[in-house]
Structure 1
Amino acid sequence: MFFWACTYHAMSRTLRETLIADQHDQWMAKYDRSYADEAEKQQRFMIFMKNLEFIEEYNNAAANRTYQLGLNQFSDLTTEEFLNSHTGYKIPDQPKPSKTPSFKYENLTDIPTGMDWREKGAVTEIKNQGSCGSCWAFSAVAAVESAVKIKTGNLIPLSEQQLIDCATNNGNQGCGGGVMDQAFDYIIQNQGLSSETDYPYEGLEGTCEMRSSPAAKITRYEDVPANSEKDLLNAVSIQPVSVAIEVGDAFRHYQQGIFTSEDCGTNLNHGVTVIGYGTSKDGTKYWLIKNSWGKDWGEGGYMKMQRDIDAPEGICGIAMRASYPIA
């Protein structure tokens, strides 16, 4: 009896692995993935299977969860590989003060109940940082693009590559990571930033070049007071805001819905841009996030994250280090 039970279990496991192998082949075709040899394919398949099991167990763990996970372009990477190649926020050495010298949106009244800056034509298309730790550049550029649009009426895709190549004197490390405030510092000191057309994205560190006149400028930037979702809400009601968050396995496999995970903490490792906020039909408040992982991730490259949680730093630390440029 024990023998037949073991045999049945082994056959079931083999059948499951066969089905997952077919799923892996379909996934490879969808994302145009290829491997050097059969050994690497088997290694990646085992990682893929582990990630798939995580997704299935996570989705089945709570029927009333407000979001779902799914396979995406990161599903054959280990957690360490993913974090090393697709994030890039570096926490500055100095702690951020709870009160900033200047916060122009502190005393706003009549805040709209919802905001989506895409509907105002103030958000460029979703971009993809690729395997470069340049999230900080994408977060900063997205905020600058929106600030310039709001002030001038012109929505101009700007150059993340220029920041990767040129903003190293401000403490950033190209594909090795950086900070949005230091990106803003560079743009101010350089008296502007080139367009994406003039200085296109390469996804690797290159030589700093002055290829054209700046396509957009900012005069300064301000930090949102730390650990205040209320102040963050005030700022986002006026313009998109750069924020730092902690991402992990649930976040990287996010597919749809309002992310309410306790899977993330406050070890900030990724920069994104808050482009709006709202409330779902069931009353769940959320932030609307623009990411830099392409349109195949999340809801077309965007994400909803729970707002007004019972912690001052916000979900995944979203209210800890927020800032916005002033055009």
Structure 2
Amino acid sequence: MAFNLHFKLVALAALFLLGAWESLATARTFEKTSLFLSHQRWMTLHGRTYKDEAEKEKRFYIFKENVKFIEDFNKAGNRSYKLGTNKFTDLTKEEFRATLLNKEKSLRPKTLQPAFFLNESLDQAPNSLDWREQGAVTDIKDQGNCGCCWAFAVVAAVEGLTKIKTGQLISLSEQQLLDCDLTSDGCGGGIRTEAFQFIKDNGGLVTESDYPYEGAQESCNTQNLGTPAATISGYQEVAPTESALLAAVTNQPVSVGITIGGDVFQHYKTGVFTGDEGDCGSGYRHAVTIIGYGTSDDGEDYWLVKNSWGNSWGESGYMKMARGINEDGVCQVNTRASYPTA
């Protein structure tokens, strides 16, 4: 009797373990199936196709790892911003950096010492500002697989100035800068102040429709472009202080360079990005345009930033970056700002 009871208990235990293993296997299969369907929906949403099944399997694995990173980050709940999927979710951080960012050395300035903004008094500065509300910001654009963020940041600033001085919001040509500004490295990086200088020397920029964006550097087209749609008299660098940058932004959209390279920037979705715990990263730079500033419902001061990665990234293509973090600003945003002059 004792032997039979022992045998039955062992058998029941074995059945329990087998059931547990099967349940675990089923859960894992369900999880993989769910992720597979999520990947399929993501591919449809972003129009993504792959050359073969091997590439699809590779991208699915990267997608899965990135989704886990995003979910773990958000569950931790220790930041003032959240991450989310976007069109970069099937890229490794190395691929993302190589495609969208510029190596630190590519964007070293070659210009004169910066000067303080001419009207730096902030006595009349509003508590918040959004140049979109003044009609001075064109729709979000997408630089694609070309690291020419510098051109988009410069053009956005010129578009803003053009609206302010003429009353017309005109989408201008990044491709003209990319092709014709020979001081730049094209998709490998460029210097925003030298791009402003090119626009001045060139007599301005034509419209986006006259010289459409191709996502790659081509030969400079000088034929049949017509009259430039926007001109500038030069540019001004902003002193590397937050007050000088704020004074500049109260007058017009301003192009800035930031230091990034951390994983989270790739997946930013919403909230005030503070750059905590090394989230900015290092070794790479990116150029964006500050189009305003404000304070969140939680009392966090921020810059309102226009990016050039399409509207699936961030808050429909925009980002809030913290103000008042430190002397250099979050991701060194205070240190390399410039804007065109009328």
1:73 to 2:87 alignment: yes
Deviation at 1:121, TM superposition (A): 0.7
Structure with greater helix percent: 2
CA distance in 2, matches of 1:89, 1:135: 12
Query: Which has more radius of gyration?
Result: 2
The question of whether the paired residues in 1 share the 8 Å contact of 2:253 and 2:290 is answered with yes
CA distance in 1, matches of 2:333, 2:312: 23
Select which of 148, 162, 168 maps to 2:176: 162
> Residue deviations 1:85-107, cap 9 Å, x none?
1234754445888x624531334
Select which of 194, 198, 217 maps to 2:206: 194
Matched with 1:232 is 245
SS of the residue corresponding to residue 193 of structure 1 reads coil
Matched with 2:58 is 43
Select which of 286, 291, 316 maps to 2:331: 316
The share of aligned pairs that are identical, in percent, is 51
Deviation at 1:274, TM superposition (A): 0.2
CA distance in 1, matches of 2:132, 2:138: 8
1:1-327 equivalences in 2 (<5 Å): 9-62=24-77, 65-88=79-102, 91=105, 92-93=107-108, 100-101=114-115, 103-168=117-182, 170=183, 172-210=184-222, 211-226=225-240, 228-247=241-260, 248-262=262-276, 263-265=279-281, 267-309=283-325, 311-327=326-342
CA distance in 2, matches of 1:236, 1:89: 27
The question of whether the paired residues in 2 share the 8 Å contact of 1:142 and 1:273 is answered with yes
Q: TM-score, normalised to structure 2's length?
A: 0.88
Would the alpha carbon gap of residues 26 and 83 (structure 1) be closer, same or farther in structure 2, given more than 3 Å must change? same
Instruction: In structure 1, give the amino acid aligned to 2:255.
Output: S
The question of whether the paired residues in 1 share the 8 Å contact of 2:115 and 2:239 is answered with no
SS of the residue corresponding to residue 125 of structure 1 reads coil
SS of the residue corresponding to residue 119 of structure 1 reads helix
> Aligned-pair RMSD on alpha carbons?
2.1
CA distance in 2, matches of 1:293, 1:18: 30
CA distance in 1, matches of 2:138, 2:49: 31
Deviation at 1:12, TM superposition (A): 3.4
SS of the residue corresponding to residue 320 of structure 2 reads strand
> Residue deviations 1:60-88, cap 9 Å, x none?
011x6322111110000111111121234
Aligned length: 321
SS of the residue corresponding to residue 181 of structure 2 reads helix
CA distance in 2, matches of 1:269, 1:26: 32
SS of the residue corresponding to residue 231 of structure 1 reads helix
Deviation at 1:315, TM superposition (A): 0.9
SS of the residue corresponding to residue 302 of structure 2 reads strand
Mind listing any 5+ residue stretches in structure 1 that lack a counterpart? none
SS of the residue corresponding to residue 15 of structure 1 reads helix
Deviation at 1:220, TM superposition (A): 1.1
The question of whether the paired residues in 2 share the 8 Å contact of 1:250 and 1:261 is answered with no
The question of whether the paired residues in 2 share the 8 Å contact of 1:88 and 1:136 is answered with no
